[in-house]
Amino acid sequence: MSSQATRQVDPTDVEAATEQQTFRGPRKLTRAEKRAIDAKARLTSPAASWIALAVAVLWTIPTVGLFVTSLRTRNDVQADGWWNAFVRPLFTGFNYQQALQGGLADGFVNSFVITIPAVIIPITIALLAAYAFAWIQFPGRDLLFVAVFALQVVPIQVTLIPLLTMYVDIGINGSFWPVWLSHTMFGLPLAIFLLHNFMKDVPASLVEAARVDGAGHVTIFFKVLLPLLVPAIAAFFVFQFLWVWNDLLVALVFANNDSSPLTARVADLAGTRNNAWYLLASGAFIAMVVPLVVFLGLQRFFVRGLLAGSVKG
């Protein structure tokens, strides 16, 4: 037997040969991967970081000033700007106590009573409507969906008088029902649009497999699609919660003194009690605490839900 036949092969040579045989050149990047790499390169540059930091600081300064003003005494608020509080630090929590005693406590409770149903009702209706638009074939489906989506461009102001007239004729004016129904109607177009786009992203094979197994629309909706819709539901929950909680126009038109929310009570601090205008800072900060907590807690779902169905591939 020759020496060439008995010579042992070096393992490194085998690995090199294997890699040489299997290597077919660099993989071609997809369009989405190219956009992600380009965006990462731009956003991670020092200039972009400094610009983002400057914007964050400028965006935070008014909130810091509002919080510092809410803790200053009445004489200090009337004397100079909030930035002087760091030179003469004299803070008190009396403004918050006086604001809550001035009616903000009842308005805080009314805001929850108004906001929670005004969020749950449109989500419930929009889920059913979005499923019908996405997975049920019926005549005029696309035209009706475009009409529903187009309702977002209708200004709220043009609907206030007709709705108020209708509520008075029905006999529910002055209660919580006009506020709930108004926020439901104003929020439904966006809710249907978001949930419809998210449902259309669900693979059709998943729904078809459920139908082959004998599942009907109710089973498909609750057991197949609903668990996948949590990000979209949370996104609209955040959007609608912030809209209803911070709303003043609908509250002034449809709510009475007993059902007025926190925003209307804060406006009354300056509107009906001009001698207590210095309480506006503490009242405004009380009103913004809950939306801030909700948004920070669910912001990742908020972004995912808004982008659902907007980018393909």
Q: Has residue 11 got a pLDDT over 80? A: no
Task: Give the pLDDT band of residue 311 (cuts 50, 70, 90).
Answer: very low
| Model confidence at 27: pLDDT above 70 | no
Query: Which residue would you say has higher pLDDT here, 114 or 76?
Result: 114
Q: pTM of this prediction?
A: 0.74
Question: Which H or E run includes 122?
Answer: helix 105-135
Tens digit of each residue's pLDDT (9 = 90 or more) over 103-125 = 788 888 999 999 999 999 999 99
Give the SS3 label for residue 284: helix
Q: Could you tell me if 285 and 70 are in contact, meaning their C-beta atoms sit under 8 angstroms apart?
A: yes
Asked if pLDDT for residue 236 goes beyond 70, the answer is yes
Is 238 found in the same domain as 140? yes
Residues spanned by the domain of 68 = 29-92
pLDDT digits 0-9 by tens, 190-205: 899 888 988 888 888 8
Query: Are 134 and 46 within one domain?
Result: no
Indicate if the pLDDT at residue 62 is higher than 80. Answer: yes
- 39 lies in the same domain as 113: no
Q: Do 261 and 109 contact (CB within 8 A), yes or no? A: no
Which helix (H) or strand (E) covers residue 5, if one does? helix 3-6
Residues 6+ apart with CB under 8 A from 115: 241, 244, 245, 261
User: What CATH number has the domain bearing residue 128?
Assistant: 1.10.3720.10
pLDDT at 245: 93
Report if residue 22 sits inside a domain: no
Q: Specify the pLDDT at position 112.
A: 93
76 and 124 fall within a common domain: no
State how far the Cα of 81 lies from the Cα of 100, in Å rounded to an integer: 24
Token pair 């629309």 is found at 217
Domains identified in the chain, total number? 2
Give the whole-number percent of the chain exceeding pLDDT 70. 82
Does pLDDT of 312 surpass 60?
no
Asked whether the beta carbons of 183 and 254 are under 8 A apart, the reply is no
Looking at residue 247, its pLDDT comes to 92
Average pLDDT, the chain: 81
Q: Is residue 130 part of a domain?
A: yes
Q: 13 pLDDT exceeds 70? A: no
**Pair 269, 102: CB distance under 8 Å:** yes
Q: How would you class 182 by CB atoms within 10 Å of its CB: exposed for 0-12, middle for 13-18, buried for 19 or more?
A: buried
Q: Is residue 40 part of a domain?
A: yes
Query: How many Å apart are CA 259 and CA 110, to the nearest integer?
Result: 6
pLDDT tens track for 249-268 = 999 899 888 888 988 888 88
